[in-house]
Amino acid sequence: MNRHAWIRMTISILIALILAWWVYEAHPGWFRNHSSFTLPVLAPKPTAIPGPATPRPRLSPTPAVPRVGTTQHLDDIWITPMFIEESAGAGGILPNIGDQFLIVHLHLVNRSQFDFPVRTADFQVLDSRGELVAPLTKDFTRRRLREVTLIPRGFTSGTLIFEVPLHNPVATLIYQHDPLDPSKRKEWQLP
């Protein structure tokens, strides 16, 4: 290789390194962890504190993460996880060894002025291992939440099935209709 080729190659490498440094300095968020999720934890159990014998009215604190049965809305779409069930499967659909199925019964109401598409892919469960789990594509309950379009004041109900660890102390149901905006999501703590 002649001398000019070595000089050209060295200058090209230096320019590439300078550009890489500039991109890193100009856009540090591109090189950071973008996860906005945290592992779910059980709410602390209240402990008895000795005090005066006179009863005081107790205020129930609002949980940081709502629980099953709590209705939340996002863009005038009202979502209520009615109740959950644990299952070992049925109809030839079985969980992996060490796992179980978590069946979430949902009720959705469109209170907006626009049609709204219901998509099962908008729901996921964050288990205690830190795994984000999508709903199963097969449903043995025969009450699966159907992917429909709700007109204004329309509503639908159905189940979603998630595979979680067998002795999962807590999980979080996550609804996120717009994956590009992580601030637009709702969460429910599943016992």
Q: For residue 133, what is the domain's CATH number? A: 2.60.40.1240
Strand order in the sheet with 155-165: 72-74, 77-87, 99-110, 155-165
Number of domains in the chain: 2
pLDDT at position 80, please? 94
Asked whether residue 122 falls in the same domain as residue 178, the answer is yes
CB 162 within 8 A of CB 136: yes
Q: What averages of pLDDT result for each successive group of 10 residues across the chain (191 residues)?
A: 86 94 81 62 61 52 73 90 90 89 94 92 90 90 92 93 87 87 85 75
Asked whether residue 28 falls in the same domain as residue 87, the answer is no
Residues 6+ apart with CB under 8 A from 123: 104, 106, 135, 160, 173, 174, 175
pLDDT at position 45, please? 61
CB 143 within 8 A of CB 156: no
Range of the domain at 159: 72-190
Structure tokens at 64: 């940081």
pLDDT at position 52, please? 56
Asked whether residue 181 falls in the same domain as residue 129, the answer is yes
pTM over 0.85: no
Asked whether residue 24 falls in the same domain as residue 78, the answer is no
Asked whether residue 93 falls in the same domain as residue 185, the answer is yes
178 in a structural domain: yes
Asked whether residue 22 falls in the same domain as residue 86, the answer is no
130 in a structural domain: yes
106 in a structural domain: yes
pLDDT at position 26, please? 84
Tell me if residue 184 falls in helix, strand or coil: coil
45 in a structural domain: no
Asked whether residue 7 falls in the same domain as residue 98, the answer is no
Asked whether residue 22 falls in the same domain as residue 77, the answer is no
95 in a structural domain: yes
CB 126 within 8 A of CB 189: no
**59 CB-side CA count, 13 A:** 3
CB 172 within 8 A of CB 180: no
Asked whether residue 99 falls in the same domain as residue 20, the answer is no
